[in-house]
Amino acid sequence: MATRSVATTDSLNTLRTTVNAISGTDIGDLATLGTTAKSSIVAAVNEINTSVTGTGFTMSDGSTTQSVVTGNTVLAFLQKFYWYRCCC
């Protein structure tokens, strides 16, 4: 993503077109989000957060897969995973 700046001497139209370019190209097309919430980036992140908080998620190293359910933490998972890899 390119750094965008508008000089204090630039016109209001330059500011408008720069801001419009940021939302259209730097953020991306909201229609291509992999979530059902496509109205904004915030809505999509909130949908993912709700899903992970409510149902958990799965972590995998390619050979071992572990579900991290609501109430568990990644740290507890990593400790258990490390113990399993070293001690079993």
- Total Cβ atoms within 10 A of residue 63: 5
Examine the pLDDT at 66 and tell me if it is beyond 70: yes
Contact assessment for residue 81 and residue 64, using Cβ atoms and an 8 Å cutoff:
yes
DSSP string, 29-62: -GGG-SSS--S-HHHHHHHHHHHHHHH-EEEE-S
In this structure, are residues 68 and 58 in contact, taking their beta carbons and an 8 Å threshold? yes
**Average pLDDT value over all residues in the chain:** 76
Q: Which two three-digit tokens encode residue 52?
A: 């992970």
Model pTM score: 0.46
Give residue-wise pLDDT tens across range 11-21.
999 988 888 77
Q: Note the pLDDT tens digit of each residue in 42-51.
A: 888 888 888 7
